[in-house]
Structure 1
């Protein structure tokens, strides 16, 4: 009995390989290339709106984490470079449109796993209601996304688009 094995490249798993569109880009001085995103870590603490302005003043925006691979490599970079002592604002908010989280560019924030954590209460974020309208990466919850009051004072990750 003979068997014919046919391997179709389009059906082979891509696990462990880089996306076809992934290419190395050059970032300005002071920015790190993480998964082809140019990011800068600002470890001083300020409110979400103040940090939005900090990023804006250097020609950047607060980081947008809408890709699980980018989030993975960003968190890996944070841990490998000992930046994990800080909690970081990211560019998501539902301020002015409760429950409808948007990035600063207006696009919708993906909900659920693998982006949002549970902040130790076993209830997946966001769960802060009208008092918690801005989003950060929580150092105490494996750098998953958590909603929080915009007046909290945290560090920030800026990104050049």
Structure 2
């Protein structure tokens, strides 16, 4: 209703300006219009300012919320990426663990001979072996003797196989002698290897100790180039001289 009054007064004031026939606008008319405008401003001006201020606050709050959501989203993506990477690494570790477990189980499980063992060879922990106590000679001579039986000096890479082999010697009553095995080296400076070319493992649990009981290693003699299982030393490995003579333990290829 107040707006209608104001418009009516404005029309009344401007109408005389359009026609010179009408009387001029008086001070009373201007004062009346001014009073109406002041009254309108006092009624609605505060509400409008408050609403504008409230809207500005709301907009700033929404902008802050949006910025926080964008930041949280970036952190969330980074966290998801880290979780995915951790899951991938866990899967890789599980795969490696399973492979190692399978390899360990394979090493512990006796390997079946490729063909049934025929006399004079006997199956020991999946190998066909023959401790020929009827023969005695140097390492080279006994290796050649094994070759005449389509075999070679025994290779012992597993502590389990070594344990079963020693028990076999005791079971057949042939644990009173030293035996040649298939380990050798070309010189004192060269590493020991098996007759198939693979390196020998040194130290525990295969090698015996020197006289000081502190070192599990070969003797340093110039001719200590071949490996034997030393009967008096609980059948641990020892380096033996070129001229030493003893029986062989042969293994079928």
TM over 0.5: yes
Larger RCO, structure (CA 8 Å, separation 6 or more): 1
Aligned to 2:136, the other structure's residue is in SS state strand
Kept after mapping to 2: 8 A contact 1:38/1:160:
yes
Give the Cα separation in 2 of the matches to 1:41 and 1:23: 19
Match of 1:152?
A: 244
Indicate conservation of the 8 Å contact 1:41/1:157, yes or no: yes
Q: Which moved more, 1:56-65 or 1:120-129?
A: 120-129
Give the drift of 1:120.
4.5
1:74 matched to which residue of 2?
A: 165
C-alpha deviation, 1:79, in angstroms: 1.3
Structure 2 unaligned residues grouped into runs of 5+: 1-97
Q: Shift in Å at residue 18 of structure 1?
A: 8.6
8 Å contact 1:91–1:104 — kept in the other structure?
yes
Q: Does the CA contact (< 8 Å) of 2:112 and 2:127 recur in 1? A: no
**Cα distance change of structure 1 residues 58 and 113 upon mapping to structure 2, 3 Å threshold:** same
Give 1:22's aligned residue. 110
Task: For structure 1, list consecutive stretches of 5 or more residues without a partner in the other structure.
Answer: 1-9
Larger Rg: 2
- 2:220 is the alignment partner of 1:128: yes
Structure richer in strand, relative to its length:
1
Cα distance in 2 for residues equivalent to 1:97 and 1:142:
24
Question: 1:60-82 CA deviation, whole Å, 9 max, x = no partner?
Answer: 00000111110010011111221
TM-score (norm 1): 0.82
- The corresponding residue for 2:195 is 104
Contact 2:111/2:127 (8 A) holds in 1: no
TM-score by length of 2: 0.54
CA distance in 1, matches of 2:247, 2:171: 18
The aligned length equals: 148
Within 1, Cα distance between the matches of 2:140 and 2:210?
A: 23
Runs (4+) of structure 1 moved beyond 3 Å? 17-25
How far is 1:121 from its partner? 3.8
Alpha-carbon contact 1:98-1:130 (below 8 Å) kept: no
